[in-house]
Structure 1
Amino acid sequence: MEETQTDSCIICGQRHQKGILILAAFLCEDCELEIVGTDVHDVKYPYFVHQMGQVLYKKNA
């Protein structure tokens, strides 16, 4: 895990110190673990896909 200055998570929007950077977007450790543990049939899954897609969209914009 990469430790950063307090950044806002792209999933939960809260500020955290521990997490990872994906194409310059910050993903907190808690959300990372939740995403990895979420089944594709879970109601949260489409939200995670959408938020991660926003990272790619911003990168290509």
Structure 2
Amino acid sequence: MTGVKKCIICENEKRQGYYILSSFICKECEEKIVQTETNEQAYMFFVKQLGKINSKQNIYHS
């Protein structure tokens, strides 16, 4: 499928989203991140997944 990328948060393949450096974040995850409060359980999950942005294992694929 053309235009499909793997989200670093949910690890699903999506068409719409954003890039932070070379990491793709789908629109759905971006919306969840923005709406999550720091005291919510999901917050630490997002922090962990966003940590992949600086990971040497994260390689950009078109």
Q: Shift of the alpha carbon at 1:56?
A: 1.7
Q: Shift of the alpha carbon at 1:54?
A: 1.6
**Residue number in structure 2 paired with 1:26:** 24
Question: Which structure has greater strand proportion?
Answer: 1
TM-score normalised by L of structure 2: 0.82
- Structure 2: tracts of 5 or more residues without a match: 58-62
Q: Shift of the alpha carbon at 1:11?
A: 0.6
Percent of aligned pairs with the same amino acid? 38
TM-score normalised by L of structure 1: 0.83
By relative contact order (CA 8 Å, sep 6+), the higher-ranking structure is 2
- Structure 1: tracts of 5 or more residues without a match: none
Q: Shift of the alpha carbon at 1:25?
A: 0.6
Q: 1: distance between equivalents of 2:40 and 2:56?
A: 26
**Residue number in structure 2 paired with 1:36:** 34
CA RMSD of aligned residues (A): 1.7
The correspondence of residues 1-61 of structure 1 with structure 2, limited to 5 A, is 5-58=3-56
How many pairs align? 56
Q: 2: distance between equivalents of 1:33 and 1:44?
A: 13
